[in-house]
Structure 1
Amino acid sequence: MSILRRLAVALFLVPFLSLVATAQDYRIRPGDVLQIEVLEDNTLNRSAIVLPDGQITLPVAGTIRVAGRSLAQVQADLAQRLAPGFATTPTVYVSMSALAERPASTPAAARTIAIYVLGAANAPGKVEVAPGSTFLQALAQAGGASPFAAKKRIQLRRVDKSGVERVYKLDLDAIENGASGGSTRLMNGDVIMIPQRKLFE
């Protein structure tokens, strides 16, 4: 092979190999859509959106935390979870079907972070707040807790950079009476879960 031809091949392969390396290093985020294929049983094939809490739910495999992990890690985890239902460990392929929508680049002063409020809030859902916003400020943007909220059992769920979820318990009744917790600073991707009151709670 001539030097010029070798150079042309090398120039072609560099961006391709760079893309492969990037795909291997990519860490899954809430909002991403994964394509899952099981070679031995195509009834298990499906697309799965990564929920705000970083999890997906699949038949047989159950609920799996995927946020912060690579596609290869999720693929290996799924194969292991499905293995008891097969004679041999199944061949599982996990690929990226669609990336979560990324916010457009904006001036630093206008940037926001996404917080997810679930359960007994007056306006649950995705809430865009300014960086440095507190738990009470985000709750106010979600319309506050509904009359049916179990205000003593609110959870703040946060996934750290290593993919580990930490759960912080907040007592809104106590906060309203002057206890600490209301000024807790929120981070992008935080999930505030407000359970409903039980009958005699």
Structure 2
Amino acid sequence: MRRLLLPLLLALCAVSVPAAAQDTTAAVRPADVIRLNVWRQPEMTGEFPIGPDGTILHPLLSEVRVVGRTRDQVREQLRQVLLRYENDPQFVFDYLYRVGVTGEVRLPNLYTLPPETTIAQAVAAAGGVAEFGRLEVVRLMRGGTETILDLRDPSPEVAEMRIRSGDQIRITRRGAGWRDFLGLGASLIAAVASVVGAVAVIQGS
């Protein structure tokens, strides 16, 4: 029974991958990740980074070149390697893009995310916007070009915009408001009071 369930699960995974992730070409780059699931081959199942030369950083899969190849080409390369260990290899794979999310988010970091992830979902993966973050001014650095996005905009062009490999998403900080102004004023008053108190003690002595 177990032998029948796992191939079925692999087949369902292959069918359920979103259309955006099924493009014949994928702009993967070194430092991105390939996620591979091979039936009955646990040593080849997992998430493996793509090396500087564009191949998979795995001792048994190092000849598989990913960067600059279509999905069909990568699939055929994987099949040829797996044929050495299995007569009829059954496997599925997908890519994870390396994306930076920084600025006013709760968990700024580099993330590996599936290609179908939207910009808003990438921000959510970083814990969401912090207290002083501005969803209306999100800086997207892509391919050397900076674009300002308003993630409150419900239009499909913004709401459905997907990440690309190497994206840098930065949530900007709101300018000084009344809370910041009052906080600064309170700090200044406290500092002046401390100085005045110190002077009075010196004069009294």
TM-score range, shorter chain: 0.3 to 0.5
Q: Normalised by the size of structure 1, how large is the TM-score?
A: 0.42
Q: Normalised by the size of structure 2, how large is the TM-score?
A: 0.41
Larger radius of gyration: 2
Between Structure 1 and Structure 2, the one with more helix by share is 2
